[in-house]
Amino acid sequence: MKKLICVFLAALILSTPAYAVETITDDAIDIKAPSAILMEKTSGEVIYEKNAHEKRPPASVTKVMTLLLIVEAIERGDISLDDTVIASERAASFGGSCVYLEEGEKMSVDEMLKCITVVSANDCAVAMSEFLCGSEQAFVQRMNERAAELGLKDTHFCNCTGLFEDPEHYTSAYDLAVMSRALIKHDLIKKYSTIWMDSIRNGEFGLSNTNKLVYYYDGCTGLKTGYTDKAMYCLSATAERDGIEYIAVIMHGDSIESRNNDAKALLNYGFANYKLCSLRSDEVLPPVKVRLGNCDSVQPVYTGEETALIKRSGTADITYDVDLPESVAAPVEKEQKLGTLTVRINGEVFREVPLVAGSDVGRAGLLGIFTNIALSYLGIG
């Protein structure tokens, strides 16, 4: 029986593509924090995880979701960077990391975003929550709704700052990585998350980024730090080099130095060991003829992720084979599968990407059908 099991396991190992990403959970990387994860931005693939689904208090890394809702509201056109936000008495009362807003003080959305991202300003986070939803409570409800939309299973928010250590306010390293991934898909946030030093109030109040990796880690693009006595030192760190971007989340680090070292170790591992493989062919996809349709053809398009993560080891001979039919019968529905792009690495199938119809094509009317038959009989078309 043992021999059979060994043979079975060996077969599984041999059948696994040599370039596929396997999540590391052992001591290949020396991570001190009790909970951590490394995720690639484009594909969302997890390279490393350590207790990544363990629920923990996130401290100010909570603001990743706060920032996501603000940025999404800007890009939808609900608010603009030039809009004026007036600080309420409640927002001005917040301590911890803040810029000491005064009740009635006016600040643009642009400045608010800068303060929240760079110095983790609690007062600005609350002011923005009230500006967007009328109250922090309504904003928090939207935070939880957005978490559900992202499929987060281990997250629940009670406030928009992470300042208060409520036992019902928690998330996980994995969920923070997913939130961070959603946030950095918006290039706008990097206008703020890459700032090292800046100022507000006409230069009278200086800002210095709480994320020191922005200053000294090559390619760092952000993203958010956090600390409370219960949460300890937390961080969602993002960095990009040569078109590939990683998200390293650290929860409950012992110190700022330990937290940053863990993040650097994860990011270094990603950059050293992986690269992106395109899941698109350089060749233009040819249109597919539609029989008895109200259009002669339909244009196939790609669907799904554009890239996949692969190991850097060895030489990768990547080839792309497009398989499409010469024709299909009407009607054709948009996103109906037409064919497949097969991506091979060193001759082995790596991924199969569905090619789908880019538009609807209805059936031709009676006149159109007779016309098509006539043209076909005459050898035209």
Could you say which of 35, 43, 88, 120 is catalytic? 120
Quickly count: other Cβ atoms within 10 Å of residue 147's Cβ.
Answer: 21
Is 106 a known active-site residue?
A: no
Tokens matching residue 291: 């029989």
Residue with structure tokens 């917040």? 94
Could you say which of 35, 43, 60, 236 is catalytic? 60
φ/ψ of 350, rounded to 5, equals -100, -50
Tokens matching residue 217: 């880690």
Tokens matching residue 103: 């009740």
Estimate to the nearest angstrom the gap between the alpha carbon of 293 and the chain centroid. Answer: 40
Is 120 a known active-site residue?
A: yes
Torsion over CA: 276, 280, 281, 284 (sign): negative
CA atoms within 13 A on the CB side of 26: 2
Q: Which residues pair with 342 in a beta bridge?
A: 321, 352
Q: 331 preceded by cis ω (within 30°)?
A: yes
**Cα gap 60→30, rounded to integer Å:** 25
Could you say which of 50, 63, 114, 224 is catalytic? 63
Helix, strand, coil percent content, the chain, rounded in steps of 5: 35, 30, 40
Annotated catalytic residues are 60, 63, 120
